[in-house]
Chain A
Amino acid sequence: MAEPLLAIENLRTYFHTTAGVARAVDGLSLAVAPGETVGIVGESGCGKSVTALSILRLIAPPGRIESGSHIRFEGRDLLALDDRGMRAIRGNRIAMVFQEPMTALNPVFTVGDQVAEVARIHAGASRAAAWTQAVAMLDRVGIPAPDERAHEYPHQLSGGMRQRVMIAMALMMKPALLIADEPTTALDVTIQAQILELLAELQTQYGMSVLLITHDFGVVAETASRVVVMYGGEAVEQAPVSALFAHPHHPYTRGLLAAMPRLGAGRDRLQTIPGTVPAPTDWPAGCRFRDRCASAWDRCEREHPPLYELSAVQVSRCHLAAEPGRRAAGDAAPAHRVTA
């Protein structure tokens, strides 16, 4: 790919707690091209949210981005920037939308004020100019009667509206990269559909890249062009979205796809992934997924798998790439395949 907009290399974010060192992100590398939507999928404890916070350097002690990590954005090394430099990036070139709009918005300021504040901080706009831009932005994100709504407080708006306000705030400065951390998880499914459609529209209009973090494969299938599956603080599989769904390689990816109940799939017993996610203070040696993997054998305990290249575009952190014959019969193929 041409020069990527965002290039993360060997990101390691560790939390040094009294209970031990939690290796929340342990060697993640990924790249986002301009205009691309990359989905990061994983469950709790896989490190996806910490990754997002690390990009914006919002990690507070006892968390720390360890040396050896590199994050390059628009050609610059984000980890080398000082506070001022970083503040110029946040909300301006890289913006973030969070999962819970109620907690991310300040309850004592009107939504108009909060959106306008972005322009005041980054563009030095006057109050009046900023307010006008804010109202225009609220309109752009689909809030009806925006000039009236701008005077309302967050608690007066519904969840979907609040999320739209957050998106408005994020897009005020037309950032090159939008990081959306589970932006629709807290929303009803019909509202989720609206928000995803809005994001797609805005992305095309502004030509921005989106890093979408979610646990929902359905959302990923509809919005992302490339997918990174995370487990145990690492990427375990990366592929373009069609390749991932057509032939998922890593047993965790396959397990997740098989465990999802799908509409129209009947009522057979769901495939499950036995066991639970290990603690980030205690990643198992070798492959971190081996305790839960039907295909694991001794190599998996001895040797931490690298990212094997399955093709020019798909990688998988699994020794099955080297020894495909070892794949267990019980390793579920996804139950859902398009015949057309």
Chain B
Amino acid sequence: MSADRAGRAARAWGRVPPGARIAAGVIALFVLGALLAPWLTRYEPWQQLDIVRLQSRPPSWAHPFGTDRYSRDVLTRILFGARVSLSIATLAVLVSSTVGTLYGALAGYAGGAVDAVMMRVIDAMLSVPRVLMLIAVLALWSPVPVTALVLLIGLTGWFDVARLVRGQALALRQREFVVAARSLGASPGAIVWRHIIPNVLSPVIVAGALAVGNVIILEAGLSFLGIGVHEPMASWGTMFQDATVQFVSTWWAVIFPGIAIVATVLAFNALGDALRDVLDPRQLPGHPALDPQEPAHG
């Protein structure tokens, strides 16, 4: 029934407030920019153009966002930087969401002593401040390959998701359709996979959207400090690092990456909020007058 699905999707889109649609648009813009970067620009992100004449030039027709102090085109670096920042953020959040969801679902469904122990482990891990620990590890181990960076960020960020999912799983255990699955003879693993996890995804997706924004900032911060992404790979954070030295005189090299970060993070936050509204009401039995398929009690 794909016509059905299309209809439902269209109605869901209709429920999204205009602010959130703008947010989705902004994100789409950046994603497209990131994907099409090689075709959108003439230069390479690491390409040092004329060192003498094109160093730290303000915005012009040839270079809409100007050039930085290594005479690299800022616009190009922003587009390619989008690739780096967005992919690191989404992959890291994917890692943390997956690990957190599995851990939390198992803990919540198991309940009792198992759950207690698993939660205490999380408490222990949470007592170590994430950013400081990342800084310490990355500084010691630098330069760090990007995969390792993604994994490190991801594997230090799953605790909140796990807590969230575990709370949901605890509640879901009592829901009748889970009891029904037990009565059919489903094994605990099958129940967690088929019944618990699909029903905890909504808050996880919402939390994930918000987390992407956080990780973008985190990665930018780490790169700014020099321990995240390394030269000559462009990320919005490294662009900051380069440009802050001469911030006042080459404001374009700082402002534009800054705007990119702010816009993207705001957009993801707005998206997260919108997703929360769009995803949740579907679960609730509707008001009888509004949702005529749901008979009221009695």
Contact = CB atoms under 8 A, between A and B. Distances in A.
B296 A18 contact: no
Given A24-B289, A279-B292, A182 B11 contact: no
A75 B295 CA distance: 35
B11 A19 contact: yes
A45 B295 contact: yes
A50 B296 CA distance: 11
A185 B14 contact: no
Interface string A49-76: 1100000000000110000000000000
Interface in A1-57: 13, 15, 17-19, 22, 24, 43-45, 47, 49-50
Interface in B264-298: 287-293, 295-298
Q: B-side binding surface: helix, strand, loop or mixed?
A: loop
Interface residues of A, number: 26
B274 to A, nearest CB: 15
Interface string B1-28: 0000000000100110000000000000
Interface string B49-64: 0000000000000000
A185 B297 contact: yes
A49 B296 contact: yes
A43 B295 contact: yes
A24 B290 CA distance: 9
A63 B14 CA distance: 19
A253 interface: no
A98 to B, nearest CB: 12
A316 interface: no
Contacts of A288: none
Contacts of B11: 18-19
A280 interface: yes
Contact of A18 (B15, B287, B298): B15
Contact of A279 (B15, B293, B297): B293
14 contacts: A17-B290, A18-B11, A19-B11, A19-B290, A44-B288, A44-B295, A45-B292, A45-B296, A47-B289, A50-B288, A50-B289, A62-B290, A182-B298, A282-B292
Given A44-B296, A185-B298, 9 more contacts: A13-B289, A15-B287, A47-B289, A63-B289, A99-B297, A182-B298, A185-B297, A278-B292, A279-B293
